[in-house]
Amino acid sequence: MKSAISPKRSENFSEWYQQVVTHAELAENSPVRGCMVIRPWGYSIWENIQQELDRKFKATGHLNAYFPLLIPLSFLEKEASHVNGFAKECAVVTHHRLEQTNDGKLVPAGELEEPLVIRPTSETLIGASFSRWVQSYRDLPLLINQWANVLRWEMRPRVFLRTSEFLWQEGHTVHASREEALDETLKMLDLYARFTVEHLAIPVVKGVKCSWERFPGAVSTYTIEAMMQDGKALQAGTSHFLGQNFAQASDIRFVNKKGVKELAWTTSWGVSTRMIGAIIMVHGDDDGLRIPPLVAPTQVVIVPIIRDEQHTAALLAYCERLQKQISHKKLKGQNLRVSIDKRDMSSGEKKWYHIKRGVPVRVEVGMKELEQNMISYSCRNSNANVLKVDVASFVKNLSGILQAIHKDMLGSARNKLSENTRVVTTLDEFKEAFSQKGKVHVFVMAPFVDDEKVELALADMGVTLRCIPLQQPQAEAVCFFTGTLTRTWALYAKSY
């Protein structure tokens, strides 16, 4: 069967991904290598992700603030492992002016005394403010979030997945005790996991990173890992327990109830526009994007089928009444997002336009429907099926239809995850699992010991350790990289 996107997923997954991004008008490459332009359709998905997460952050007591884009080198240097982790991929500002040379060329001028780095993340800069804001136990917990752009110079950029500049939120919190900070770290991990399941229809594995996959400067890094349709893993969000490392580096101290000065405990956590990449690779099909209804910019598109210009006015009026009725219906407390495609274009072209862009429900209205007070509709997750129903029952059932689409998408992603996860206990099985015979990769659960030997063996095989899942098999086995008996199991995968 012919598909709207070429190549198909099975032919070349990575090129299919790029084609979906292009055909769905999600983003495009910019003249600056590694930086992307997020087009309105892609940006609107991001806005929906933002709004829901922002509601959840505020409901859990977090306040938004904004910290500068530029970080002095001396700040980055404060935390030794932190600077080592980010120094290799920084954009460095060295001048504050341009001057024209005699031949009319612009050249940098006004050299700065101390170079500045465009933030790759903001722990060190925010720490400087926190050390002023936190004086007493009364100021704690301090729960701050920032929506911002960050920059990490990428040698192998890939739109949404690995771009030099990306948009994200970074939460930064300060607590009076280790327990509270650890609670916050896990609470935000859980918030992310619930969001990806309940809003993006993406199942995730929650876990903690091993030593060599940790955020530079963290005591422990928690993660949610999702499986793409090619069986590779994508890290969809992280939550870091920073212990007292950054409090020490930034001098964040508070006077406790007994009047004694103590070092505070901090956390940080973030998700980014990478989530849009996950949506594409988990839900897309050979006809293009499929957007989970809760974050779809348009949840329902109405396409008038105009065969005869004399009917235009009547059909548009019919569509507008329908739009109005739909826009008063709700899904999870939010009004439905519905639009009419009035463009001067054939209905066949329009149909494929909306399929490729992944609109969950497409309604078609021609004169037959109008005369019978009905509509025809089809859902993006089962394109071929066109259903004709009367307007009233359609409007009444619409929220349910959208919920069913979400459930269907989540169910099928869950099936793929469980079908493609294997438990192995020998090196041969492990090698066989990653042998690439089939085109779809797998997730592997295997015994684990945190040892450099494992790190080196995995690097050789091009396999990564995604996490030590919070849910453990509770069995004892031998780590076949080290020969050590262990009760810890880890999740291994090829990854993005």
Binding footprint of its own copies on the chain (CB under 8 A): 28, 30-32, 35-40, 43-44, 46-47, 63-73, 75-77, 83, 87-100, 106-108, 110, 115-118, 125, 128-129, 132, 138, 144, 148-149, 151, 153, 165, 167, 343-345
End-to-end CA distance of the chain: 30
Residue located via tokens 């050789």: 460
Q: Which residues of 284-317 are buried (b: 16+ CB within 10 A; e: fewer)?
A: bbbbbbbbbbbbbbbbbbbbbbbeeeebeeebbe
Indicate the pairing of strand 92-100 with strand 233-241.
unpaired
* 8-state DSSP, 90: -
Residue 116: CB minimum distance to its own copies, A:
6
Residue 275: CB minimum distance to its own copies, A:
14
Distance CA 351, CA 288 (A): 12
Instruction: Give the nearer residue to its own copies in terms of CB position, either 71 or 305.
Output: 71
Instruction: Give the nearer residue to its own copies in terms of CB position, either 76 or 301.
Output: 76
Instruction: Give the nearer residue to its own copies in terms of CB position, either 135 or 418.
Output: 135
Residue 98's nearest CA partner among 87, 86, 117, 111 is 111
Residue 171: CB minimum distance to its own copies, A:
13
Residue 365: CB minimum distance to its own copies, A:
22
- Phi then psi dihedrals of residue 444, to 5 deg: -125, 130
Residue 286: CB minimum distance to its own copies, A:
26
Instruction: Give the nearer residue to its own copies in terms of CB position, either 108 or 473.
Output: 108
Instruction: Give the nearer residue to its own copies in terms of CB position, either 117 or 409.
Output: 117
Residue 370: CB minimum distance to its own copies, A:
26
Instruction: Give the nearer residue to its own copies in terms of CB position, either 94 or 372.
Output: 94
* 8-state DSSP, 34: T
The CA-atom distances, in angstroms, between 321 and each of 298, 325, 425, 442 are: 17, 6, 62, 49
Residue 384: CB minimum distance to its own copies, A:
29
Instruction: Give the nearer residue to its own copies in terms of CB position, either 125 or 242.
Output: 125
Distance CA 357, CA 346 (A): 17
Residue 171's nearest CA partner among 145, 150, 140 is 145
Cβ neighbours around 334 below 10 Å, total: 13
Instruction: Give the nearer residue to its own copies in terms of CB position, either 316 or 457.
Output: 316
* Burial (CB count <10 Å: 0-12, 13-18, 19+), residue 131: middle
Residue 421: CB minimum distance to its own copies, A:
35
Length of the chain: 496
Structural contact between residues 346 and 364, judged by C-beta atoms closer than 8 angstroms:
no
Residue 118: CB minimum distance to its own copies, A:
7
The CA-atom distances, in angstroms, between 51 and each of 57, 195, 210, 291 are: 10, 12, 32, 16
